[in-house]
């Protein structure tokens, strides 16, 4: 059985036992979280939501909180003395999918 969930503005395909990195969510390592925006549940029978499957949820356990790689943003306009340098580092939470309930 698998599911497609929406979290952090992105869609992720998950199965029980998967380790998935999603955008930072509240919760300390060891906490159980519930992903309720389930867009699709597959397996023996395919259930497609419009937009969400009613009554479906994904239960997961928080494993760790981490950061992604540093990204450099550099803007430049020639002959105008304009240079702008910025950096960004996204926060992630790694979760382990425990079960899919549909």
Contacts of 89 (CB under 8 A, 6+ apart): 67, 68, 69, 70, 71
pLDDT tens, N- to C-terminus, the chain (102 residues): 999 999 999 999 999 999 999 999 988 999 999 999 999 999 888 999 899 999 999 999 999 999 999 999 999 999 999 999 999 999 999 999 999 998
- The pLDDT, as a whole number, for residue 97 is 96
pTM of the model: 0.82
C-alpha distance from residue 49 to each of 31, 33, 88 (Å)? 28, 21, 35
Ramachandran angles phi, psi of 71, nearest 5°:
-110, 140
- The pLDDT, as a whole number, for residue 102 is 81
- The pLDDT, as a whole number, for residue 82 is 98
């Amino acid at each position: 059985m698998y599911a497609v969930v929406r979290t952090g503005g992105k869609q992720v395909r998950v199965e029980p036992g998967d380790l998935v990195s999603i955008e930072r969510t509240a919760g300390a390592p060891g906490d159980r979280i519930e992903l309720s925006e389930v867009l699709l549940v597959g397996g023996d029978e395919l259930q497609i939501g419009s937009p969400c499957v009613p009554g479906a949820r994904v239960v997961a356990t928080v494993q760790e909180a981490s950061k992604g790689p540093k990204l450099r943003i550099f803007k430049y306009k020639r002959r105008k003395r304009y240079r702008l340098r910025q950096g960004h580092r996204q926060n992630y939470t790694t979760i382990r999918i425990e079960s899919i309930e549909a």
